[in-house]
Amino acid sequence: MADTIPMTSLSLAAARRVLDAALAHAESVGVMVCIAVVDPSGLPIVAARMDGAPRLSVDLARHKAATVVSFNGVPTHFWWPAIAEDDALRHAVPQFPDFMILGGGIPLTVAGELVGAIGASGGSPEQDQQIAEAAAAILS
């Protein structure tokens, strides 16, 4: 058994391409959002706030992306349906400020390997999810 585990991360150049794709998609649908692209440990690589995007959405975008990598690539829109009928989980989740259950957090993969995540916030959860998915698709 190895004493170390390698971590492959998205490069700055790739993170910028993902960010640019997210901003372009958001602009094309007329939604002003904040975008955060994080590495597999949840640390930001790049982030941006579009003119007119809600300021609170800066942190929400980062939390969405961090949630995805914290759960090995599970998108944030998965969580509400998973906990909606569980009283204990619904009450516990708000105790974890970095854990986001709103759509807009999507894994970033290269050759099937999780290399980071993108979080989008500022539109509806569905719009945020679509923006993040469109950006993530450029890596496929």
DSSP alpha helix (H) spans, the chain: 12-28, 57-70, 79-83, 87-92, 125-136
Residue with tokens 């400020």, as numbered in its chain: 97
The pLDDT tens digits for 23-52 are: 999 999 999 999 999 999 999 999 999 999
- Reduce the DSSP state of residue 19 to 3 states and report it: helix
| Cβ atoms of residues 134 and 123 within 8 Å | no
Give the end-to-end CA distance of the chain in Å, rounded to a whole number. Answer: 32
Domain 12-139 belongs to what topology?
Answer: Beta-Lactamase (3.30.450)
115 band by pLDDT with thresholds 50, 70 and 90: very high
